[in-house]
Structure 1
Amino acid sequence: MSATITARVATSSGRPLDGAVMTVMSQAGEQQAIARTDGDGAVSVADLDTGTYTVVITAEGYQPTARVAVVTGSSPVSLGEIAAARAGGAPVPVPGRWDIDPGHSAIEISVRHFGIASIKGRFTDFTGQIEVADDIEKSSVVAEIKTASIDTDNKTRDDHLRSDAFFDTEQHPVAEFRAGQVRPATDETWTLSGTLSLRGTAVPVTLDLAYLGEVEDPWGGQRAGFRATGTLQRNDFGISFDDKLISGVAQIGSTAKVVLDIQAVRSSTHISD
């Protein structure tokens, strides 16, 4: 009689960990099986006899994690999701100035519509710089977004969003985000705190930030990836559009979700005082 042990290996933030190694050891300390996770973080080993096993998960850059699996028959034994903790804390980019590449970045926003679905849009015209300090917590970000560049794939809706009922792009053509506080959140992510100025109103904003790594691009540059997410309350910026359906449900939700997928190119090793 033999059985299978299965698991899913992920980071502390839930991202599948591809290529992690699962080693299964007997009580006598002998290796019984070894396998690697797939792109979804899934892994399994089969043909195990009845007994108690120690399952060890290892991956480059992560702390080893162990679990005990008890095989009592032919039924599969699931260890569920195993969270791997990064060794040495969250990764950080090389210190220096990084210029946001708008052509390979995206700023997306979504709100509930009629309470049953979401409307998504993006800003297509923006610039920004990221200053990574030697002490990562002293890093800073500044970005400017042309509010008239909002694009939801619907001209009538976009014109409405540009009006004084929403972004008021004629009076306030630029939204500015400035952040100067970076704090560790998990072994994978950071918390970025700053201020968003929109429609002439400055509001504190906190984003969940992940650094996705660096590569040398085909043009000879050093390129880094970042992903940030957060929520905004439109009423904080004086956007009080509150038309409702007959049922009382708001046409447009008061909370907007923001997702930033950013590529930035290193432009300098100097950090200004």
Structure 2
Amino acid sequence: MSTTITARVATTSGRPLDGAVMTVMSQAGEQRAIVRADAEGMVRAADLEIGTYTVVVTAEGYQPTARVAVVSGPGSLSLGEIAAVRAGGAPVPAAGHYEIDPGHSIIEISVRHFGIATIKGRFADFTGSIDVADDVERSSVLAEIKTASIDTENQTRDDHLRSDAFFDAEQYPVAQFRAGQVRPATDETWSLTGTLTLRGSEVPVALEMTYLGTVDDPWGGRRAGFRATGTLKRDDFGISFDDKLLSGVAQIGSTATVTLDVQAVHTSN
């Protein structure tokens, strides 16, 4: 009878690390198994006899991680989740000025509706730039969003959101996000802190940001990808719409989640 050792390999933020390699060594230093993680980060080393093993997980760009596994009988032994720490800290793009490409970027906002579902909308009209400093913590971001460009795929709802009950797009046509503080959060994420100006209110906002890599595009440009998420409280911006159902549940949640998937083109050093 034999035992299977299993584990899930992920980054410190919980993203599955597919392609990671798990090597199982006996106390005598003999290699008993070597397996690669699947798309969910799962690794399985089968046909192991009773004994004590050293399990080493490796992945390109990450520090090796070791665990001890004691196999005492047949069946399956789970090592749980193994968090791989990126070597050298969170990655960053090359220093320089980047212009956000609106045609290949998304700014999405989502709120709870009736307490049982989520409504999502996107802003279709926005511009922005990212300045990556040699000292990355001195980098800055500036983005401007046309509030009237909200699109939830429902005209009646969109008109309501543009009204003075929500964005008041006629009086405040532009929302601005300006950030100048970047700090490492985990081995692959950054904390981006700035100010969001909406409906005339300036509110501190923190986003968790991940740099997704840099590629050469078909038009001769060099572009970087970023993903950022954060939570906003609508009361902070004077949006107090609070119609409730007879049960007391608010029609619209008091907080909104903002998600940005951004491509930015490197324009100068």
Q: For residues 240 and 208 of structure 2, what CA distance do their matches in structure 1 show?
A: 26
Give the match for residue 18 of structure 1: 18
Give 2:43's aligned residue: 43
Report how many aligned residue pairs link the two structures.
269
TM-score of the two chains, using structure 1 as the length reference = 0.97
Residue in 1 aligned with 2:103? 103
Q: Which runs of 4+ in 1 moved over 3 A?
A: none
C-alpha displacement of 1:242: 1.0
Q: Please name the residue that 1:118 is paired with.
A: 118
Residue in 1 aligned with 2:140?
Answer: 140
What amino acid is aligned across from residue 63 of structure 1 in structure 2?
Q
Distance of 1:172 and 1:258 partners within structure 2: 19
- List alignment gaps of at least 5 residues for structure 1: none
1:1-273 map, 5 Å: 1-269=1-269
Distance in 2 (alpha carbons) for counterparts of 1:76 and 1:245: 50
Secondary structure at the residue paired with 2:187?
coil
Deviations 1:215-271 (A, max 9, x none): 1111111111111000001111111111111111111111001111111111111xx
2: CA distance between counterparts of 1:91 and 1:120? 30
Q: Distance in 1 between matches of 2:257 and 2:75?
A: 43
What is the CA distance between 1:39 and its match in structure 2? 1.4
What SS does structure 1 have at the residue aligned with 2:181? strand
Q: Deviations over 1:119-162 (max 9, x none)?
A: 11110110100000000000000000000000001000000000
Structure 1 residue 98 displacement after superposition: 0.8
Instruction: Give the whole-Å Cα distance in 2 for the aligned partners of 1:147 and 1:217.
Output: 30
CA distance in 2, matches of 1:34, 1:242: 57
Task: Kindly provide the CA deviation profile for residues 76-96 of structure 1, in whole angstroms up to 9, marking residues without a partner as x.
Answer: 111111000011110011100
CA–CA distance in 2 between the matches of 1:218 and 1:11? Answer: 31
Residue deviations 1:160-180 (CA, integer Å, cap 9, x gap)? 000011001111110000000
Which range moved further: 215-224 or 122-131?
215-224
One-letter code aligned to 2:86: R
Q: For the aligned residues, what is the CA RMSD?
A: 0.7
Match of 1:221, as an amino acid? G
Letter in 2 for 1:264: A
Residues 152-161 or 244-253, more deviating: 244-253
Q: Distance in 2 between matches of 1:55 and 1:47?
A: 15
- % identical equivalent positions: 78
- Work out the CA distance in 1 between the residues paired with 2:120 and 2:138: 33
Gap runs ≥5 in structure 2: none
Where 1:108 maps in the other structure, the secondary structure is: strand
Taking structure 2 as the reference length, the TM-score comes to 0.99
Structure 1 residue 101: Cα displacement:
0.8
Q: Which amino acid aligns with 2:196?
A: L
**CA–CA separation in structure 1 for the residues paired with 2:19 and 2:249:** 47
